[in-house]
Structure 1
Amino acid sequence: MTKEEALKTYFGYDAFRGGQEPVINALLSGRDALAIMPTGAGKSVCYQIPALLLPGITLVVSPLVSLMRDQVTQLVQMGVPAAFLNSSLTFKQYLLALSRAKEGRYQIIYVAPERLETEGFLDFACHANISLVAVDEAHCISQWGQDFRPSYLNIPAFLEKLSRRPPLGAFTATATPEVREDIEKLLGLQDPLRVTTGFDRKNLYFEVREPADKRLELLELVRSRPDQCGIVYCSTRKAVEEVCGLLQEAGVSATRYHAGLEPEERQRNQEDFLYDRARVMVATNAFGMGIDKSDVRYVIHYNMPKDIESYYQEAGRAGRDGLPSNCILLYSGRDVRTAQFLIEHGESREELDAETAERLRERDMQRLRKMVGYCRTRYCLRQYILQYFGETAPDTCGTCWNCLHNFEEVDVSREARAILRCVIETGQHFGVSVIAETLCGAETDKVRKYHMDEEDTYGLLRDLTQKEVRDRIRFLIDEGVLALSPGPYPVVLLGERAEDAVLGGLYMRTVKEERPAARRPIPEELDGAQAELFGRLRALRAQLARRQGVPAYAVFSDKTLRELAVVRPRTIDELRSVSGIGDAKARRYGKQFLAELSAFED
């Protein structure tokens, strides 16, 4: 069987996506490979196809139980013998799976990195014919990655203990150039093929909002999408509880996920979301890695993440099927303080010396500043993300909120001089809000407490709103005219470019005119008959999924059902021509779907 035949037979696709084929060719020829591909770009196919064609076993090192379970479920649906070995199995289940592995009954085995050093698994691995090792989420091996896991450092030692070193493939969705170098060095990749397909997900629409009331904004966003699946990310367990309760009280079918829940509830809630029993998942960043639910139409960040890597990975869980999907971040200054607190008081890294731990903390702070920059930029959001990951990008994408709105360059030199004067006059002792209140002539408790109403700059910018002044202060911070002190309660300081405010000529981008219809254009909707048929096919899919105890998307994706509703195949052969329908699925579900299509025609 060729790789093209395997792709069609098992996955139901006629052609490889960008970057997949060279990685597959390298691994099949025995060469190591490093693949950087965004979420939803098909990284798993890069090692699953070689696993089907190579004679022995492929080991996939993966960090999360949910990732393994989901991948194995889909492989079994496609007719591929696969299993996972991790802590979710009872000891008896683990021994049974290991025994079957020794008998050669699996082509692909997913394993947690911690398992590599156990005596029983090592004994199996040293006697098995391992033809390929794939390391998923490879950024976890780097201390400079956003999700460092010390257990990943044991992978090279495990490979040395094997009787023969198989080719090694390393895969990740988010890695800066520095992290890529770390992956290659620490895993000991030998003359690897390096493939970076690009981080751009053209089907995703990006937007940052700064609402006065996040709760109301979130309710509006979710209620406007009643039939869509979505994920709402929060930065803390407490926020997850509050937001999930808010949605449930509003009649939204929502569930929750965070590390403070019992494992049984986490598993149950995750399955409710995967099986469409709950339309919205409210979660911390503990949820989502490896969850291959293809029909997530929106990801809303209720709180700003700590770094661009985390944001893009989490946002990328929308639209994995390639259909238009929304990524919306609800930003507030409080998010910055929360993120700073989590960095300062996060999990202790006992395995690191004090100097390294401090360097990592400072690196986390640098990442946070980049994340804040994303939330504040008036320029193309897509360009900001792509440039962060080392890619060149056009000035405008035409599909993010910033590009779809009409901006103008406004001279803020007058306001900048007033702000600078206020900061100097008050001794560089106050935060953004107090400076804005003072300049706008507000009569607040803090203004009275600190006698700010006695300053010469009190009310100097009363022609602007406090939000407009805060926006200008943040612009000056981004430009280096001002700076913020470190710590949980930052105060406004003079920046390296403070003299620029005196010289003038400072221009800030502001929204000139709102365009109510400015949203990412949705492709043509299915017509009346097609939409009705699509609904019937979804109902059939749900029925078959419940009967087999698998998520609906493991039967067919929404994209496949839409194509079925348009093409309306009449035979099994015609059915196989539809994207996403391989031989195993055609045999398993073909008759039922053809019968439904035929009944609709009648």
Structure 2
Amino acid sequence: MDLAAAQHILKTTFGYDDFRPGQQAIIEHVMAGENSLAIMPTGGGKSLCYQIPALMFDGITVVVSPLISLMKDQVDALNDSGVPATFINSSVDWPDIQERLAGLHNGAYKLLYVAPERLDSAAFLQALGQLPVDLLAVDEAHCISQWGHDFRPSYLALSTAIEQLPTQPQVLALTATATEQVAADICQQLRIDPQNEVNTGFARDNLDLTVVKDQDTDRFILDYLKVNQGETGIIYASTRKEVTRLTTLLTRHHVKAAAYHAGLSDDERRANQEDFLYDRIQVMVATNAFGMGIDKSNVRFVIHAQVPGTLEAYYQEAGRAGRDGLPSEAILLYRAQDLQIQHFFIDQSERDESNKQREYQKLQVMSQYANTQGCLQQFILAYFGEDSEPCGRCSNCRDDREAQDITVSAQKVLSCVVRLRSRFGKGIVAQVLTGAHNQRVRDNHLEELSTYGIMNGQRQKSVGELIDFLTAAGYLQSIGGQYPTLAITQEGASVLKGETQVFRKMARKAKRLAPVDDELFGKLRELRHQLAEDQHVPPFVIFSDRSLHGMCEVLPQDDEAFLSVKGVGQSKLEKYGEAFMAIIREDQAAAKA
């Protein structure tokens, strides 16, 4: 491999001085003609691992990518950096497809992005077979494994399609989340020698992990958005109904938010996604239908308003925050009852019994993550088979909240569950304790219990949150599927007997992510926004937030200094350098005046 040539492209085209961990090793495998697997965290720079070789090969590189939106964003970003790339997917009509194929034949493009479903088409495969394909890059490669969290049958056709291409291109598989089992499956399916796996680890040093348990989640979200005003983020929920409810709540509190789920029309989803990518809205509230491959680099926070089904899915979705390497946060709002939604999804799925059991076990891991007292980053890395030290940054590592003795309140709840003989769920327990007078309480003569009304000074909601805490802490257990009942555990019995005290930490308060950006950054961001609107591309295609922060530090006023900013290559200098430097010169002149 000509390392000097690769580094020249890295600097002049993409604007970076040095390779990030793993990039050089992967590129060396590719340039040596070896099939390889790259496992790198989201934001770790996987794309450059095939984009740089693409510019060094004589032929073309085909990138298999699962989402249309990602293809367009990446092609826009490559074209903006002076790299000739195109895509073919269902958004492109037949005449345009023919025109793009002709351009590929004539050497007009170096990269072609396609959806995996395209490779199911014999006609498309035949057309692809007439092109000089040197490299096939398989993005989101975990989708090929039935052991993974996001298996897609369309990926299974890849190995057959590769065999049918006359050029026998080499393969580079890329993913951010793969357990050891999933990685082995990818290698087997795509004929990759396991020795050609490059795994840079799963740690994200710029991503702070936080778990917020058994609190008023609406209040926390609103407080968080208030103290982080102007920052962009994603809020995930498990159901369309909850996405709609949260979007309405945020809009009512004057937060610029939009919804994204499979129940919306294609046009609505497209418009909302575009508004998010173009920074017209602050928050996207979405089901997991949104986000795989979303290349928006300045997402500062990801909040899971409900528990996802697996730790792999959680970490991949959380990893959409801070792709540009700047400080970002991933927050899980945990309530024990939300596990029942995922239980229901598993119950209703078409999986066989053994696969359902595997999914239940993965959900149990998610619950253990939310309830661990140890380092959150360490827990995740251990799940992926990686040893690590405590991160020192997550909410558990930095937890300095006071613990309050709530033994008496806990005994009241536990006593009520015993007197209800474990026949009812959280709602009825809270109603009995707070002295509710509804029909169900009267029909079951629950007002006759000795525990009826013994917490009548508290709201049902706060008593419900206390029940969630006692369940998460192991004093109560939730039994059953869709309509679970509560039962006391052995630990709960020892609390009732006065043998064990119960302590609960004070509610977690929303904090500011990072210092407020300075005035110059705001001016540069406004210029970036105007240029993006004029060119009809997302702002991060012009420059990432990291590049804008770099400009604020370097304060470049000539071409050489501007090129020293990370993410600024020759093409971007020629297109945008003068406009950005004019604002910097003006700002410096005003500061001196």
**Which moves more between the two structures, 459-468 or 311-320?**
459-468
Q: Does 1:402 align with 2:396?
A: yes
The residue aligned with 1:599 is 586
Give the superposition deviation at 1:130: 1.3
Check the 8 A contact 1:59/1:108 in 2, yes or no. Answer: yes
- Shift of the 413–217 alpha-carbon distance from structure 1 to 2, 3 Å rule, reads closer
Instruction: State yes or no: 1:226 paired with 2:229.
Output: yes
Going from structure 1 to structure 2, the CA distance change for 1:415 and 1:578 (only over 3 Å counts) comes to same
Q: For residue 5 of structure 2, what is the aligned residue in structure 1?
A: 2
Q: 1:110 corresponds to which residue? A: 113
Q: 1:143 is matched with which residue? A: 146
What is the deviation of 1:381?
A: 2.2
Amino acid aligned to 1:14: D
Give, in whole Å, the separation in 2 of the partners of 1:502 and 1:592. Answer: 70
- Tell me how far apart the structure 2 counterparts of residues 237 and 449 of structure 1 sit (CA, whole Å): 34
Tell me how far apart the structure 2 counterparts of residues 69 and 296 of structure 1 sit (CA, whole Å): 18
Match of 1:568 in 2: 555
Q: Secondary structure at the match of 2:8?
A: helix
Following TM superposition, by how much is the alpha carbon of 1:425 offset from its aligned partner in structure 2, in angstroms? 7.5
* Cα distance, 1:443 vs structure 2: 6.3
Tell me how far apart the structure 2 counterparts of residues 129 and 405 of structure 1 sit (CA, whole Å).
56
Could you give the per-residue CA deviations for residues 291-345 of structure 1, whole angstroms, max 9, x where no partner exists?
A: 1111111222222222212221111111111111222222334422222222222
**Is the 8 Å Cα contact of residues 149 and 313 (structure 2) preserved in structure 1?**
yes
What root-mean-square deviation, in Å, do the aligned CA atoms of Structure 1 and Structure 2 show?
3.4
Counterparts of 1:355-434 in structure 2, within 5 Å, are 357-394=352-389, 396-406=390-400, 428-431=422-425
Which amino acid letter does the alignment assign opposite residue 335 of structure 2? S
Name the counterpart of 1:352: none
Quote the offset at 1:249 in angstroms.
2.6
Report matched runs for 1:128-139 at 5 Å: 128-139=131-142
Alignment equivalent of 1:474, drawn from 464, 472, 475: 472
**Equivalent residue number for residue 183 of structure 2:** 180
TM-score normalised by length of structure 1:
0.86
Q: 1:559 aligns with which of 528, 532, 546?
A: 546
Task: Could you tell me which runs of 5 or more consecutive residues in structure 2 were left unpaired when the two chains were aligned.
Answer: none
Answering whether residue 545 of structure 2 is matched by residue 545 of structure 1, we say no
Deviation at 1:13, TM superposition (A): 0.6
Which consecutive unaligned segments of at least 5 residues does structure 1 have?
Answer: 349-355
8 Å contact kept, 1:416–1:476? no
**1:409 Cα deviation from its structure 2 partner:** 9.3
Equivalent position to 1:39, from 31, 36, 42: 42
Higher mean C-alpha displacement, 498-507 vs 303-312:
498-507
In the alignment, the residues of structure 1 paired with residue 579 and residue 407 of structure 2 have an alpha-carbon distance, to the nearest angstrom, of 69
Code of the residue aligned with 2:394 in structure 1: it is C
Matched, 1:318 2:321: yes
Of the structure 1 ranges 238-247 and 407-416, higher mean CA displacement relative to structure 2 is found in 407-416
Q: Pick closer, same or farther for the CA change 1:392–1:502 going to 2, 3 Å.
A: farther
How far did 1:63 drift? 0.9
One-letter identity of the residue aligned with 1:162: L
Q: What residue in structure 2 maps to residue 534 of structure 1? A: 521
One-letter code aligned to 1:198: G
1:93 is matched with which residue: 51, 76, 96? 96
Secondary structure of the 1:320 match is coil
Change (3 A) 1:195 1:493: farther
Q: Which residue of 1 aligns with 2:346?
A: 343
Give the alignment of 1:275-354 within 5 angstroms: 275-346=278-349, 348=350
Q: Aligned equivalents of 1:330 and 1:514: distance in 2?
A: 12
Aligned residue type for 1:230: G
Closer, same or farther: CA 170–509 of 1 in aligned 2, 3 Å = farther
SS in 1 for 2:396: helix
406-415 or 142-151: which moved more?
406-415
Distance 1:441 1:587, change over 3 A: closer
Q: How much has 1:32 moved relative to structure 2?
A: 1.6
Output the CA distance in 2 between the equivalents of 1:414 and 1:249. 38
Offset of residue 457 of structure 1: 8.8
1:74 CA displacement: 0.7
For residues 443 and 245 of structure 1, the distance between their equivalents in structure 2, rounded to whole angstroms, comes to 29
Determine the C-alpha separation between the residues in 2 that align with 1:473 and 1:459: 21
For the structure 1 residues 195 and 451, does the alpha-carbon distance in structure 2 shift closer, same or farther, using more than 3 Å as the test?
farther
Cα–Cα, structure 1 residues 541 and 468, in superposed 2: closer, same or farther, change >3 Å?
A: closer
* Aligned 8 A contact 1:410 1:507 in 2: no
- Structure 1 counterpart of 2:247: 244
How far off its partner does 1:582 sit? 0.8
The change in CA–CA distance for 1:485 and 1:216 in structure 2 (over 3 A counts) is closer
Mean Cα deviation higher: 167-176 or 253-262: 253-262
3-state secondary structure, aligned to 1:476: coil
Relative to structure 1, the CA distance from residue 469 to residue 330 in structure 2 (aligned partners, 3 Å threshold; closer, same or farther) is closer
C-alpha distance in 1 between matches for 2:386 and 2:34: 26
Q: What whole-Å deviation, never above 9, does each CA across 1:164-214 have from its counterpart, x for those lacking one?
A: 422211111112222222212222223551122122212222222246543
SS of residue matched to 1:547: helix
CA contact (8 A) 2:406 2:504 kept: no
* SS class of match (1:399): coil
Q: What residue in structure 2 maps to residue 579 of structure 1?
A: 566
Q: Contact (CA 8 Å) 2:37, 2:196: kept in 1 or not? A: yes
Contact 1:78 1:585 (C-alpha < 8 Å) held by counterparts: yes
Aligned mates of 2:149, 2:210 — CA distance in 1: 23
Note if contact 1:79-1:584 (Cα within 8 Å) is conserved in structure 2. Answer: yes
CA distance in 2, matches of 1:514, 1:552: 37
> Contact (CA 8 Å) 1:436, 1:470: kept in 2 or not?
no
Q: 1:178 to 1:454 in 2, by over 3 A?
A: farther
Q: Secondary structure at the match of 1:401?
A: coil
The total of aligned residue pairs comes to 581
Instruction: Work out whether residues 255 and 278 of structure 1, in 8 Å CA contact, stay in contact via their aligned partners in 2.
Output: yes
What amino acid is the match of 1:6?
I
Residue 75 (structure 2) pairs with residue 72 (structure 1) = yes
For 1:59, what is the secondary structure of its paired residue? strand
Residue 156 (structure 1) aligns with: 159
> Which residue type is aligned with residue 491 of structure 1?
T
Q: Alpha-carbon deviation of 1:550?
A: 1.2
CA distance in 2, matches of 1:18, 1:507: 48
Following superposition, the deviation at residue 125 of structure 1 comes to 2.3
How far, CA to CA, are the matches of 1:413 and 1:262 in structure 2? 51
Deviation at 1:406, TM superposition (A): 3.0
Amino acid at match of 2:553: V
**Pair 1:244–1:160, CA change in 2 (3 A):** same
**Partner Cα separation in structure 1 for residue 381 and residue 9 of structure 2:** 33
CA distance in structure 2 between the partners assigned to 1:473 and 1:223 by the alignment: 30
Aligned-partner Cα distance in 1 for 2:405–2:272:
51
Q: In structure 2, how many angstroms separate the alpha carbons of the residues matched to 1:410 and 1:514?
A: 11
| Corresponding position of 1:490 | 484
Give the secondary structure class of the aligned counterpart of 1:58. strand
- Cα distance in 1 between the residues matched to 2:231 and 2:513: 17
Distance in 2, Cα, partners of 1:444 & 1:374:
38
Q: Which residue of 1 aligns with 2:577?
A: 590
Worse-superposed segment, 307-316 or 376-385: 376-385
